[in-house]
Structure 1
Amino acid sequence: MKNLKYLFILLLIYGKYYSQNKVIIDTLSKYNYLELEDKFYNFKDNNKIKESKIIAKYYLERAKRQRKSNNVAEGYVFMQYNQNLATSLKYIDSLESISNELFDNRYPARIYLLKGKMYFDHDNEKLAFDNFIIALSHAKKNNNKRQIAIADLQIAYLNGYIGKHKETVKVLEHYYKNTEFLTPQDIEHIKISLADAYIDIYEYDKALKLIKEGLKESSKNNEFIKYNKYLILLGRHYLETKNYSQSISNLETCKRYFLKNNLDFDANYTMLYLGESYIKTNKKDKVVDNFIKIDSIIQKTNNTFPELRDVYTYLVDYYKEKKDKEKQLYYIERFLEVDKVLDSQFKYISRELPRKYDAPKLLKEKENIISDLEKKKYFLFSSLGILLLLLIALVVSVYRSKKSEKKYREIAQDLIKSINEKRPETEEKQEPEDFISSKVDDIAKTEKSVIRNISEDTVQKILTELEHFEHNELFLQKGITLSSLAKDFKTNSTYLSDVVNTYKKKNFATYLNDLRIDYALNRLVKDKKFRSYKLTVVADELGYNNEQAFASAFRKKTGTILRTYIKEINQSLE
């Protein structure tokens, strides 16, 4: 009797499911293939996965039943979306086998574009890049300008992944202005990506213009996903322009929407920017809540992104401060796992992108030049002369580069040796006030210079402030200028400049840089964790606005290159 009851329930469920499916299929049968394609992409683009899968399955079965090869191929394209990796590959392989029967110049480039996008979505940037390169080659061979554009754009996004934001902007701007072969969806994606890239290169006004346009259009058309994607960018814009309250307000709205709709990628970046905003407002618990949520999503999806290093570094430091060793160890291990993946992808794309993408573009330009020269023999000899000079320059450059590299290594080794051999000075054991007092006395004894128009008391006061500034490592703060420091010392910038020039034997800018670089030299040797930070983080901790400014100051002060110095430290410890 009990079994009959279960059987009755199963029959009810099956009957309900069958009747629902029959209604859906009867409804879909009213549409032609083009209408079904429009409906499929509308559902897919609005994250209505269940509905899009129903249409995809119906579309493919109908095309097979009616033996329409082109539509069968399109059905395989539909079916490979929103699947696990193995299932997606199965449908793309089926598409590849049937594409040989089609007289369609989109193939085989389309196969590789789909594979590239699939691998990118499954966090395999290596295979994504390789497939985009193959797709580009076939697209150029078939002169399919739309596919050339799509491949160029995908490679531009990978350029952004490795930090080549200016190159990314250049490609995106080109296709945003030349949309002849692109769909409205393509253009919208370019617009969102371009606004994001503008923020990366500090073009905030350009970014804000695109963001406001996108918010207005998507709000008007009730396009909620698109609206929230622009809202993330607005939140990031406010973060970068230091309007933290507005940043948090917008990003919290996005976070609720993306988590509710299981849009993990967008949710992660929203919470990343939220965490950074809360860091700036000193709300550590809020930072940790967002960063822990990011980690939970990463473990579920395995989709990494470069900024994850900052997420785990923060969590490690937070739990170290809390003296929670178990969680500290856990996030150290998570950092190492993610860092290994990111490092592998970053190195591969950084190495292969110029070789497989930039180099062929240069070779194409060279072919065009040679073709022109064949028509104008006058330019042939000039070209040969130029090429010879370039070759000589290249040889000289390689020789100088190797010579410089050796020199940089020797300087770095000497610096490391001097730091390791240096013994703590006796004044390090003194109390801060005694230390500062003794340092000022030393300067007073050794310096005989007299600064006109400044009283001796004023000079002594400034020297005392400078020693306090050095001893307490206040030079690591951002935004220090001669005027701001003079204001802190309650003196004027002329007096401060004269004292620094006379007693420190250097101008103020050099004095400030020397303090920071000397600090960096010592800490990089002694602090393994500090060495593991990204250079942007190191530069920020030292008070520099960006990595380039820090690297330039380091080279000017030491005579060697920052990366060489770090490399030599690590090798000396092996």
Structure 2
Amino acid sequence: MIKKLFFILFVGVFQLVLSQNTFSDYYKIREQYEDLEENDSNAFPMLQIYISKAKQEKNYEKLVQGYKDGVFFSPLNENKLKYADSIVQAAKKSGDKDLLTTAHIDKGVVYYYHYKKFQLALNEYLEAYKYSKNTKNEYLKYQNLYHIGVVKSYLGYYEDAAELFEKCVVYYRGKSRSNLHPNLIYNNKKGYFNSLHQLLICERNLKNYKKTDSLIQLGLSEIANNPEYELEKAYFMLSKGISQYRNGKYQMALTDLNQSLPPLRKGRDFARLSVDYFYIGKTYSALKNTKESIAYLKKVDSIFQKHQFILPELRENYEILIDHSKKEKDQTRQLYYTSQLLKADSIIAKDFIYLSPKIHKEYDTKTLLDEKDNLQKIGIWGTIIISVLVVWAAGLVILLFRKLRKEKQVKQKYVLLEEKFMIKHEVPEKKAIPIAIPIQMSVPDEKKAGPDERKVGELLKKLETFEQKKDFTQKGLTISKLAAQLGTNSNYLSQVINEHKKGNFNKYLSELRINYITNLLFENKDYLKYSIETLAKECGIASRQNFSDLFYEVNGIRPTDFIKQRKEELNRE
């Protein structure tokens, strides 16, 4: 018996030592390159050994770490993206939801930070969010919330983004002050400073300048002169410089803005670097130093040329350069900057769906196109000019005709919808009845009906109650969930809906929801003030686009056109 116990103990100790040696092998390989700086390709000889070992042993956790290192040390963006794809593949093979969360966050960061592809980044963050819902790893949850907030902020949803960043600030601040391993303290402090910086960007765009300045002061006081957070300090110095410029303290602004430049260049954050150059240019302009001002504004253009990316707040950069070219009577540069501004507008309109309509456009698209045409036509024969103008005028006429025809069609569809609405309300006691609710067949007489017919009749009554209580506005309602609520199975419910509701479950549910919200828009003018997103949520539809498409499918008119027509009608009344 004693020999047997000794043998078991010996085997256990041997396995423990073996596992520690295995871990030690990975550690020994990684420690040879992990202290190198980001984008240093010298890491790859040892990194490839690390990845090969993890592949051979099918150690997916280590393989994910190896590919993460590949992203970090790759100098080229296309290689960063390849390694990010490999992280996702390795995480999928592991089946570990925490690894999948990490993988999609890392891929999203590559899209956002290195490519500025916001929609692609957001897709990855939302995928990560799906996997992180039930995780016990709070750091992962807040890491993903932070990145979703960053994308929301860049797209102009500043209030929504600020809420997320405030949550992240509270979480990371608490963790950074707890008794954790120094590496974890470092990661949480990074998260805290970055969340604080993103929050102040939101507050600045919301024009809450007092709060912005207090956040800048807080960030700088807590970072102090800690070299570990050099890039984060640069972000706060940049924000401080912008604040000094706004308050007319131009010399102080130049000091702060120039101090933030080296870390931004080193960190390859070209988006913030372009903001820095822009405000240095504006500050020199305020100091009447035109030569230096134009030199820095041209640097913003160089970054735009290289990366094909521009922030909405930098649009003014080209307006200033165009004005300067006009004063200098440099038509070549004027044409070039006009073309660049048109290109910038197309990128802004594509990537910043929410922000684009709000940007003040001193040089609107029509003016820019006209100026570009005029500049290109200098020196060309008059006959060519006339031909171009004729084509341009013809295009305008066609566009105007199409616009008028569309407005007429929208008006006709609205009138038809209004007539439907009025007919539905011409009933006793003026009760509100949803438009075009699928017609229900009469419930068979229980005395004459067989068992199956009685079953159908009971289910139809339950559906009628479901409609009357407006339970169809539940979010995420599926046929399986509804079947469970009604005490039946989804196959039987689907059959009854198909036979008695003139369509499948999705059509039935869509019509109930759209008819419900259409009634509200007709009956209560307060709903006309709501955003499309709010109206969608009110009737249980998750997506703005899905709501718009379903509204058009049921009513033959887009919700924005409907609301516009309804407001005009109420104003006339």
TM-score range, shorter chain: 0.5 to 0.7
User: What is aligned with 1:337?
Assistant: 343
Q: 1:207-246 maps to which residues of 2 (within 5 A)? A: 207-223=212-228, 224-246=230-252
Pair 1:76 & 2:67 matched: yes
Single out whichever of 279-288 and 319-328 deviates more from structure 2. Answer: 279-288
**C-alpha separation between the residues in 2 aligned to 1:391 and 1:39?**
65
> Displacement of 1:296 after TM fit?
1.2
Native 8 Å contact 1:278 1:286 kept in 2: yes
Unaligned runs of 5+ in 1: 1-28, 352-361, 375-386, 411-558, 561-574
Native 8 Å contact 1:132 1:151 kept in 2: yes
User: What is aligned with 2:299?
Assistant: 293
User: What is aligned with 2:197?
Assistant: 192
User: What secondary structure does 1:71 align onto?
Assistant: helix
Q: 1:405 aligns with which of 539, 549, 564?
A: 564
**C-alpha separation between the residues in 2 aligned to 1:155 and 1:90?**
22
Q: 1:171 aligns with which of 148, 157, 164?
A: 164
Inter-CA distance 217–53: structure 2 relative to 1 (3 Å threshold): farther
**C-alpha separation between the residues in 2 aligned to 1:184 and 1:260?**
20
Single out whichever of 123-132 and 88-97 deviates more from structure 2. Answer: 88-97
User: What secondary structure does 2:207 align onto?
Assistant: coil
> Displacement of 1:225 after TM fit?
2.5
Q: 1:368-383 maps to which residues of 2 (within 5 A)? A: none
Single out whichever of 171-180 and 399-408 deviates more from structure 2. Answer: 399-408
User: What is aligned with 2:145?
Assistant: 152
Unaligned runs of 5+ in 2: 1-21, 176-186, 358-472, 486-513, 530-559
Q: 1:59-208 maps to which residues of 2 (within 5 A)? A: 59-61=50-52, 63-64=54-55, 68-81=59-72, 82-102=74-94, 104-120=96-112, 121-140=114-133, 142=135, 145-179=138-172, 183-208=188-213
User: What is aligned with 2:283?
Assistant: 277
Aligned residue type for 2:212: A
> Displacement of 1:88 after TM fit?
2.8
Pair 1:306 & 2:312 matched: yes
Inter-CA distance 50–197: structure 2 relative to 1 (3 Å threshold): farther
User: What is aligned with 2:256?
Assistant: 250
User: What secondary structure does 1:220 align onto?
Assistant: coil
Q: 1:40-59 maps to which residues of 2 (within 5 A)? A: 47=38, 49-50=40-41, 56-57=47-48, 59=50
Root-mean-square deviation over aligned CA pairs: 4.3
Native 8 Å contact 2:101 2:129 kept in 1: yes
User: What is aligned with 2:178?
Assistant: none
Deviations 1:469-527 (A, max 9, x none): xxxxxxxxxxxxxxxxxxxxxxxxxxxxxxxxxxxxxxxxxxxxxxxxxxxxxxxxxxx
What is the number of equivalent residue pairs in this alignment? Answer: 357
User: What secondary structure does 2:310 align onto?
Assistant: coil
Q: TM-score, normalised by structure 2?
A: 0.53
Deviations 1:150-181 (A, max 9, x none): 33222222222132322222221122113368
> Displacement of 1:399 after TM fit?
7.5
Q: 1:376-455 maps to which residues of 2 (within 5 A)? A: 392-396=519-523, 397=525, 405-406=564-565
Aligned residue type for 1:92: A
**C-alpha separation between the residues in 2 aligned to 1:197 and 1:115?**
24
Aligned residue type for 1:95: I
Inter-CA distance 73–311: structure 2 relative to 1 (3 Å threshold): same
User: What secondary structure does 2:131 align onto?
Assistant: helix
Inter-CA distance 41–335: structure 2 relative to 1 (3 Å threshold): farther
> Displacement of 1:241 after TM fit?
2.6
**C-alpha separation between the residues in 1 aligned to 2:34 and 2:210?**
33
Native 8 Å contact 1:251 1:274 kept in 2: yes
Aligned residue type for 1:327: R
Inter-CA distance 256–150: structure 2 relative to 1 (3 Å threshold): closer
Native 8 Å contact 2:349 2:356 kept in 1: no
Q: TM-score, normalised by structure 1?
A: 0.53
Native 8 Å contact 1:276 1:287 kept in 2: yes
Native 8 Å contact 2:156 2:355 kept in 1: no
Native 8 Å contact 1:123 1:304 kept in 2: no
Native 8 Å contact 2:204 2:212 kept in 1: yes
Q: 1:479-494 maps to which residues of 2 (within 5 A)? A: none
Identity of aligned residues (%): 19
Deviations 1:100-153 (A, max 9, x none): 442522143333222222111202112112222222222225565443323322
> Displacement of 1:325 after TM fit?
0.4
User: What secondary structure does 1:135 align onto?
Assistant: helix
Aligned residue type for 1:71: K
Single out whichever of 327-336 and 141-150 deviates more from structure 2. Answer: 141-150
